[in-house]
Amino acid sequence: MYRKNFIFYTFRILVINKLNAMRVVLSVIVAIILLCLTFLLFIRKEHTYNASAKVHVAQTKDGFRLIRNGEPFEIRGASGEEAYLDKLHEMGGNTIRFYDTINFNKKLDSAQKYGIAVIADIPIPAYRKEYNPYESAFKRARYQSLVKDFVSKYKDHPALLMWVLGNEINFPVSSNGDGFTTYYKSLIEMVKEIDPDHPVTTAIPQSGRHLILKLWYTTKLDLIAINTFGGIKEIEKDFRQINFLWNGPYLITEWNDEGPWTEIMTKWGAPIEPTSSKKAERLAAVYDQHIRPLHGRNLGSLIFYWGTKHERTHTWFSLFEESGEITPSVYAMQSIFKQQEESNYDGPEMYYMMLNRYGAEESMILTQGQINTADVFFNASNCDSISIQWEILPEVWNNQKRLKRKEIKPSSLNHLILENKDNMIRFKTPEEEGPYRIFCVIRDNKGNVARTNFPFYVINQMNAQK
């Protein structure tokens, strides 16, 4: 009996002592956390904005807003090219972001003609640890001179809205980047000194929290610009997690439907591209669910890509066909900008394509010289007013990405098409082994276009027998 009581009380004392020790440890941890938070809140950076500037960020009781020529200005637009600015205006857009600075005065004049404000990229090379383009004093002086001349030349144009000093420049988070951080800060200060009338920002990929904090606390940027695609769904959560450290203004400088890096892949790594109709549907949903609710700090958003651009394919991000026809996504933009409940698009609707009666997710592997059938399924209000175009192309993303070259649309292999019956073709596979893609474009007589494509892989017959 006494032995049991002794064991019981001994165990109880040990447990109590252990709990007390844990309480002490937890109290110390909590105290350290509170001390760190107090310190961080104390040093929390508050930016000051030049209220007399033609364009400036203004802080209000509800958050932040952009002021242009004395009036609030919500950015609604796109990132891309000079082409079709009249259509951007017609669709309710008010801003274009230009990456290319060739013939820049012409671009600014064209934008001014249609009442479109311009966000101007100042192109500088990205920092790379393995190859630092800023390592020599000569190169640093050269880039500084180019930036100075560019800003000085265009700062007074009435179409100018703000500067983007570098697009995804790999700003180092954990170090000074062999002096790059210091040099980049000096470029920002130089731009602001030359042109105090327009905000300066830089565009970063996704909503990297550490990168945002590093930029905000070490530079004099007026706002953070973010390029995001699939990550747009997490942007509000990401910002909420660092809100006590950073609650400044931001701008979404690139967004669209999911990028090719997040879509379903074939067995050989080719992304399966959604149809143009599905992209428009998802575009509107992404805005309604993930961008529209952002308020207070978000100064606006720019859809990517206004014009045509080859990234994985020539159709993935391109809002226009190469010959100028308009995709359903442009009409989805219009419904966003003009706050319409439904899209005004009345062109052909693309459903899907099949190859030898299989879908793209089946990862179709074909042999050299094989005869195949491709069918496209769609809806059109007047089939007499449409034209259907097919195109067979080799993939280029696998080689050009590896060689770090700009992606360019390859030459067509349409000589392989044996029979064309509008919504169905028969074709022979190429002799060269590798990845390919078959495209279908449906146009109507109103300037609309619907698109889809199907990736396939051609394998050498000898390899197929192994």
464 pLDDT more than 80: no
280 pLDDT more than 70: yes
User: Strand order in 71-72's β-sheet?
Assistant: 55-60, 63-68, 71-72
Q: Would residue 343 count as lying in a domain? A: no
Q: What percent of the chain has pLDDT over 70?
A: 87
First CA to last CA distance, the chain: 79
Residues 263 and 364 in one domain: no
Check residue 287 and report its DSSP letter.
Answer: I
Which residue type occupies 221?
Answer: L
The 10s digit of each residue's pLDDT in 50-100 is: 888 999 999 998 899 999 999 999 999 999 999 999 999 999 999 999 999
Q: What per-residue confidence (pLDDT) applies to 37?
A: 44
Going by pLDDT thresholds of 50, 70 and 90, the confidence category of residue 223 is very high
The 10s digit of each residue's pLDDT in 1-47 is: 544 454 544 445 554 556 565 665 566 565 555 445 444 444 445 67
Q: Would residue 45 count as lying in a domain? A: no
Q: Would residue 388 count as lying in a domain? A: yes
Q: What per-residue confidence (pLDDT) applies to 328?
A: 98
The 10s digit of each residue's pLDDT in 407-452 is: 889 999 999 999 999 999 999 999 999 999 999 999 999 999 999 9
Residues 307 and 273 in one domain: yes
Q: What per-residue confidence (pLDDT) applies to 466?
A: 57
Which residue in the block uniquely carries the two structure tokens 């930016």? 47
Kindly provide the b/e burial profile for residues 425-462, where b requires at least 16 CB atoms within 10 angstroms of the residue's own CB: bebbbbeeeebbbbbbbbbbeeebbbbbbbbbbbbeee
Neighbours of 172 (CB within 10 A): 16
Task: Give me 232's structure tokens.
Answer: 């747009």
Q: What per-residue confidence (pLDDT) applies to 34?
A: 43
Q: Which domain holds residue 450?
A: 349-464
Residues 201 and 260 in one domain: yes
Q: What per-residue confidence (pLDDT) applies to 405?
A: 65
Residues 153 and 232 in one domain: yes
Residues 61 and 172 in one domain: yes
Residues 156 and 283 in one domain: yes
Region 123-147: mean pLDDT is 93
What's the number of domains the chain is made of? Answer: 2
> Domain with 124 in it: what CATH number?
3.20.20.80
Q: What percent of the chain has pLDDT over 90?
A: 73
What is this structure's pTM? 0.88
Distance, CA of 393 to CA of 371 (rounded, Å): 16
Distance, CA of 394 to CA of 402 (rounded, Å): 16
Strands (DSSP E) contained in 239-324 are 250-255, 298-306
The 10s digit of each residue's pLDDT in 299-351 is: 999 999 999 999 999 999 999 999 999 999 999 999 999 999 899 999 999 99
Taking all residues of the chain, what is their mean pLDDT, rounded to a whole number? 89
Task: Give me 256's structure tokens.
Answer: 């669209």
Range 86-91, long-range pairs (CB < 8 A, 24+ positions) = 86/114, 87/326, 87/330, 88/114, 88/116, 88/306, 89/114, 89/115, 89/116, 91/330, 91/331, 91/333, 91/334, 91/337, 91/338
What torsion, rounded to 10 degrees, do the Cα atoms 415, 419, 424, 427 define? Answer: -50
> Domain with 419 in it: what CATH number?
2.60.40.10
Q: Are 108 and 153 in contact (CB under 8 A)?
A: no
Strands (DSSP E) contained in 110-169 are 117-122, 160-167
